[in-house]
């Protein structure tokens, strides 16, 4: 009987497959080891904390605190001039009383936190009875972990024990967004610009006053968003000359349009939708919007013009700092009493939930309601903040 001969080519192919499988296995193990090492590194822990991994968040809080304390020591702040008050639920408070100039301290802490992958959400210098005070809000990109309160003293100042007590954190925070800027700068718009509390202005692109609003907002310390027109329901009509995002546009078209609108309004801190009840229901359309914002480190506010909107969920899938509208103040009324009642309801929501977002418009009734309500708010109860402050400090 003839012996069955084995093909040399078949044997070679088998050996090649075995070598390839072995190589892939070795590479897989190497990648796995590298991934574990990265996850255990400071950079990996920071990224994991951004994703909400509890163990990483605890590590990041500890690492950032050590960086803050090291930065204070590096500019000559004595350890006896620093106290840290941890909090079970919320940011720890770092209190400093020092002769080191607050500007120098600010720069050192900022550099240390950013170098460690953290973020500075707020830096504000104020004058109190005891002298200048610096307040900084520090943490990861998604969570506030530390509040630093630094008091600049003279050589003859009292010891740290006599430092003013840290002001209590408010029970809730409310961001008020005013939509539809860019058409004009009438008397109501001017009044809102001059209001001495945080208002976030949502500016429509490509209008006569759009860029002027940005300039005026910067002058008076207001913050701005791009109020981007998006496809509404069929019964609603957008202005023919307004740039807008429509369902069915190619991702490259959406990117080009957004880049152009954002470049035309320098300094905006994010985007919220103008109309958009149709576009915000389209996952594909929203998935084309969010990478542009992510590339620029901007926030997204879902105006919730449709209860079926998926925009907020898609923004979170792209790990964007994101907010949702909790209530329109005046979209269907010019009655200041009704606007006031709605504003108080959102104040109550901020108090009970810890945060809330209100959206209004440039209307006399809204300006009147703001004049009535805001002076009655206690800073230890509900604090008015910009949309960015809320978006970057909320756990997402």
Supply the CATH number for residue 149's domain: 3.30.460.10
> Do residues 96 and 147 both lie within one domain?
yes
Regarding whether 204 and 108 lie in a shared domain, the answer is no
Whole-angstrom distance, CA of residue 20 vs CA of residue 169: 60
**Is there a single domain that holds both residue 140 and residue 200?**
no
Q: What is the C-alpha separation between 324 and 245, in angstroms, rounded? A: 19
Q: What pairing do the DSSP bridges indicate for beta strands 200-203 and 223-230?
A: parallel
Residue 12: inside a domain, yes or no?
no
One domain, residues 339 and 225: yes
pLDDT of residue 394: 60
Both 252 and 357 in a single domain?
Answer: yes
Burial (CB < 10 A; 0-12, 13-18, 19+), residue 242, is: middle
Give the number of domains in the chain.
Answer: 2
pLDDT the model gives residue 392: 82
Rg (CA), the chain: 26
Q: Which residues pair with 272 in a beta bridge?
A: 227, 301
Looking at the structure, do residues 135 and 283 belong to the same domain, yes or no?
Answer: no
Residue 142 is predicted with a pLDDT of 65
Identify the domain boundary among 104, 136, 162. 162
In a domain, 373, yes or no: yes
Confidence (pLDDT) at 86: 85
Neighbours of 186 (CB within 10 A): 11
In a domain, residue 122? The reply is yes
In this structure, the answer to whether residues 195 and 332 fall within a common structural domain is yes
Q: Give a yes or no: residue 38 inside a domain.
A: no
CB of 302 closer than 8 Å to CB of 323: yes
Q: How far is CA 157 from CA 81, 128, 154, 264, 267, in A?
A: 12, 15, 5, 50, 40
Q: Are residues 292 and 344 in the same domain?
A: yes
Do 61 and 157 lie in a common domain? Answer: yes
Domain termination residue (choose one: 162, 188, 203): 162
Contact yes or no for 100/82 (Cβ under 8 A): no
pLDDT of residue 311: 98
Query: What CATH number is associated with residue 270?
Result: 3.20.20.370
Mean pLDDT by 10 residues, the chain (396 residues): 52 64 64 54 52 60 93 94 82 91 93 88 81 87 83 63 59 96 98 98 98 97 98 80 94 98 97 97 98 96 97 96 98 97 97 95 98 93 95 68
Orientation of helix 364-373 relative to helix 336-353, angle to 10°: 50
pLDDT recorded at residue 292:
98
Based on the fold, state whether residues 147 and 263 are members of the same structural domain. Answer: no
Looking at 139, 162, 185, which one is the last position of a domain? 162
End-to-end CA distance of the chain: 76
Instruction: Determine the pLDDT at residue 123.
Output: 82
Question: Residue 319 falls within a domain, yes or no?
Answer: yes
* CB 361 within 8 Å of CB 331: yes
Q: Measure the CA–CA gap between 171 and 166, rounded to whole angstroms.
A: 15
Residue 7 lies inside a defined structural domain of this protein: no
Phi, psi of 277 (to 5 degrees): -65, -25
Structural domain containing residue 97: 47-162
- Same domain (yes/no): 129, 233: no
Q: Which residues contact 306 (CB under 8 A, 6 or more apart)?
A: 233, 276, 277, 278, 280, 281
Clarify whether residues 243 and 264 are in a common domain.
yes
Tens digit of each residue's pLDDT (9 = 90 or more) over 107-121:
999 999 989 888 887
Q: How many CB atoms lie within 10 A of CB 372?
A: 15
* Any domain includes 16: no
- Whole-number pLDDT of residue 121: 78
61 lies in some domain = yes
């Amino acid at each position: 009987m003839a012996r069955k001969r084995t093909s040399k080519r078949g044997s070679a192919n088998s050996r090649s497959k075995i070598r390839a499988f072995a190589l892939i296995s070795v590479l897989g193990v190497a990648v796995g080891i590298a991934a574990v090492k990265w996850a255990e590194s400071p950079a990996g822990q920071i990224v994991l904390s951004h994703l909400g991994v509890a163990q990483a968040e605890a590590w990041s809080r500890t690492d950032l605190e050590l960086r803050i304390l090291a930065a204070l020591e590096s500019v000559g702040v004595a350890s006896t001039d620093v106290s840290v008050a941890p909090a079970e639920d919320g940011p720890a408070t770092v209190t400093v009383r020092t002769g080191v100039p607050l500007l120098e301290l600010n720069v050192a802490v900022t550099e240390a936190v950013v170098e460690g992958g953290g973020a500075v959400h707020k830096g504000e210098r104020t004058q109190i009875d005891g002298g200048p005070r610096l307040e900084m809000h520090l943490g990861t990109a998604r969570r506030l972990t530390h509040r630093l309160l630094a008091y600049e003293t003279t050589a003859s100042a009292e010891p740290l024990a006599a430092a003013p007590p840290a002001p209590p954190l408010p029970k809730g925070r409310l961001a008020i967004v005013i939509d539809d800027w860019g058409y004009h700068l009438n008397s109501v718009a001017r009044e809102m610009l001059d209001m001495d509390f945080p208002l976030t202005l949502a500016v429509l692109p490509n209008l006569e006053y759009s860029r002027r609003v940005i300039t005026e907002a910067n002058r008076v310390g207001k913050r701005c968003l791009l109020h981007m027109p998006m496809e509404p329901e069929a019964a609603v009509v957008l202005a023919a000359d307004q740039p807008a995002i429509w369902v069915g546009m190619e991702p490259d078209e959406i990117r080009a349009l957004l880049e152009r609108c954002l470049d035309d309004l320098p300094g905006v801190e994010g985007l919220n939708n103008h109309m958009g009840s149709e576009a915000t229901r389209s996952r594909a359309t929203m998935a084309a919007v969010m990478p542009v914002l992510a590339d620029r480190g901007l926030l997204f506010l879902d105006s919730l013009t449709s209860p079926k909107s998926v925009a907020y969920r898609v923004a979170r899938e792209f790990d964007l700092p994101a907010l949702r509208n909790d209530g329109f103040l005046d979209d269907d009324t010019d009655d200041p009493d009704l606007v006031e009642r709605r504003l108080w309801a959102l104040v109550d929501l901020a108090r009970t939930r810890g945060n809330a977002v209100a959206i209004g418009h440039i209307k006399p009734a809204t300006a009147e309601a703001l004049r009535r309500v805001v002076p009655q708010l206690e800073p230890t109860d509900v604090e008015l903040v910009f949309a960015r402050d809320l978006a970057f400090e909320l756990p997402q």
